[in-house]
Amino acid sequence: MLYDAPGKCPVCGSSLSVAKLKCYKCESELSGNFKLCKFCQLDDEMKEFVEVFIKCRGNIKEVERELGISYPTVRSRLDKAIQALGYRVDEEPNREKVSLARQDILQQLSAGKIGAEEATKLLKQLG
């Protein structure tokens, strides 16, 4: 049985490296110090988002439908994925976008699509 390799150390949170590789067909083994790919270092939720985003070919409306999340949430998660992969995202959020995102979160809360805890988390992420 194969398990997903963790991207971060469960003790201190630092990046991990791979020390041994094995071919399950011929049983060859290679030892050394290998780095994990950037995607391996994403947490499970972020990996799922990136996978859906790629599957939907970057179509945000399709990502919204597939994950059952709003446009501002898709944008927020996309920005986080970009940052987690080591790229810069414009740090100055547009006030109008933030206001719309807040309204959307509150509408989702009011409609019962998300709970108070999730709404609080999302609002904190907006800053």
Burial of 71 per CB tally in 10 Å (0-12, 13-18, 19+)? middle
The per-residue pLDDT of the chain, averaged, comes to 87
Domains in the chain: boundaries: 1-36, 42-126
Q: Where are the alpha helices (DSSP H) in 5-94?
A: 44-55, 60-67, 71-84
Nearby residues of 52 by Cβ (< 8 Å), 6 or more positions away: 63, 66, 67
pLDDT for residue 113 is more than 60: yes
pLDDT for residue 53 is more than 90: yes
Confidence band (pLDDT; 50, 70, 90) for 93?
low
pLDDT at 91: 62
Q: What region does 102 belong to: left with phi over 0, alpha with psi -120 to 50, or beta?
A: alpha
Count Cα atoms within 13 angstroms, Cβ side, for 113: 11
User: pTM for the whole thing?
Assistant: 0.58
pLDDT in tens, 25-50: 999 999 998 887 888 888 889 999 99
